[in-house]
Amino acid sequence: MAGALIIPGALGALFISSLAVTGVVKLPPMPRPQGVNIPLSPPPPPPEPEQAKSERATSNSQVYSPPRRLDVTKPDFTIDTTEVLPPPGDRIDTIVLPPLDDIGPPVRLPYKPVGVSPRNDPGSWVTADDYRSSWINRELTGSAKFDLAIAPNGRVTGCRITQSTGHSALDEATCALIAKRARFTPATDAAGKPVAGSYSSSIRWVLPD
């Protein structure tokens, strides 16, 4: 700007001096140029990303639609579920089945074999009253173990001493008295029939008071 203002002044001075060389013409002083601040316009904003534009367009394009109210009328009807049975008849029919064929004798289940068992009190087989006076005088005592053979009718058919009292008189009396007094329920087999069996026990000879 200053250059543009000074150049016209110089040209004017030269032009005037060429017209009149006899005198000097003084031009008024040129005003001093002053700087002026001219505000600049702000730069335009950067372009908006395509994704933001799309999201904003989508969000702005949503249209609120109020829910529709359905007018449903409840049907007015009733279903009768009562079952109607037919009336009973006046006559009852009798069904006669034919006789069954003979299937033979009934099948008996097998029995569990059972051993012999005393039918009377074993304590009564030998008592203190069986002590003879000679045995008491000799103070014969002891325990005897024995095996008995039992017949199908429950009677004792044999006696064997398996452990002696130490006195033959007491051993012999043991078998004789038991064979005479003992009674047994016989053993039975798998068919439930009485069979021969055996019985083992022991007694103790004690001097009477």
pLDDT digits (tens, 9 = 90+) for 78-98: 766 777 776 766 666 677 777
Q: Please indicate, yes or no, if residue 76 is contained in any of the structural domains.
A: no
Domain count of the fold of the chain: 1
Average pLDDT, integer, range 22-27: 54
pLDDT band at 12 (very low <50, low <70, confident <90, very high): very low
Average pLDDT, integer, range 19-30: 55
**pTM, whole model, 2 decimals?**
0.48
> Who has greater pLDDT, 42 or 205?
205
Question: pLDDT digit string (tens) for 115-165?
Answer: 999 999 999 999 999 999 999 999 999 999 999 999 999 999 999 999 999
Q: Please indicate, yes or no, if residue 195 is contained in any of the structural domains.
A: yes
pLDDT, residue 209, reads 81
Q: Please indicate, yes or no, if residue 193 is contained in any of the structural domains.
A: yes
Q: Please indicate, yes or no, if residue 121 is contained in any of the structural domains.
A: yes
Average pLDDT, integer, range 18-25: 48
Average pLDDT, integer, range 38-64: 61
CATH label of the domain that carries residue 152: 3.30.2420.10
DSSP 97-153: PPPPPP--SPPPPPPPPB--EESS-GGGTS-GGG--HHHHHTT--EEEEEEEEE-TT
Domain extent for 162? 117-205
Q: Please indicate, yes or no, if residue 134 is contained in any of the structural domains.
A: yes
Among 177, 160, 199, which residue's Cα sits nearest to residue 125?
Answer: 177
Phi, then psi, of 3 in degrees rounded to 5: -65, -40
CB 183 within 8 A of CB 119: yes
Lowest-confidence range among 8-17, 48-57, 127-136?
A: 8-17
151 Cβ partners below 8 Å, 6+ apart? 157, 186, 196
> Who has greater pLDDT, 8 or 79?
79
pLDDT, residue 58, reads 54
Q: Please indicate, yes or no, if residue 58 is contained in any of the structural domains.
A: no
